[in-house]
Amino acid sequence: MSGAYFQHTCPVTHTSTQRIARWVCKKCGQRALFAGCRSSMVESWWAYRRRTGIAGFGPHRGFADQLLKEIDPGPCPACAGRGAIDPDADDYPLSCQSCDGSGRAPYAPADLARVQAQVHAEWPPERMKAERQRMSERFPPRSAPTATPSAKFVASLHVLVLLAVFAVLLLLLLLVGHGASHSPG
Of 55, 78, 94, 128, the one binding Zn ion (CB under 5 A) is 78
Window contacting Zn ion (CB under 5 A); options: 47-55, 71-79, 116-124, 155-163: 71-79
Counting Cα atoms < 13 Å in the Cβ hemisphere of 34 gives: 20
Please give the Cα distance from 69 to 28 (Å, whole number).
43
Structural contact between residues 3 and 31, judged by C-beta atoms closer than 8 angstroms:
no
CB of 62 to Zn ion, least distance (A): 26
Q: Of 54, 64, 67, 99, which lies in the binding site for Zn ion, with binding defined by CB under 5 A?
A: 99
SS3 171: helix
Q: How far, in Å, CA of 7 to CA of 39, rounded? A: 17
| Of the residues 27, 49, 129, 132, which one makes contact with Zn ion according to CB under 5 A | 27
Measured from the CB atom, the residue of 12 and 165 that comes closer to Zn ion is 12
Contact between 53 and 71 (Cβ < 8 Å): no
Q: Is 25 in the site for Zn ion (CB under 5 A)?
A: yes
Sites of contact with Zn ion (CB under 5 A): 10, 25, 27-28, 76, 78-79, 96, 98-99
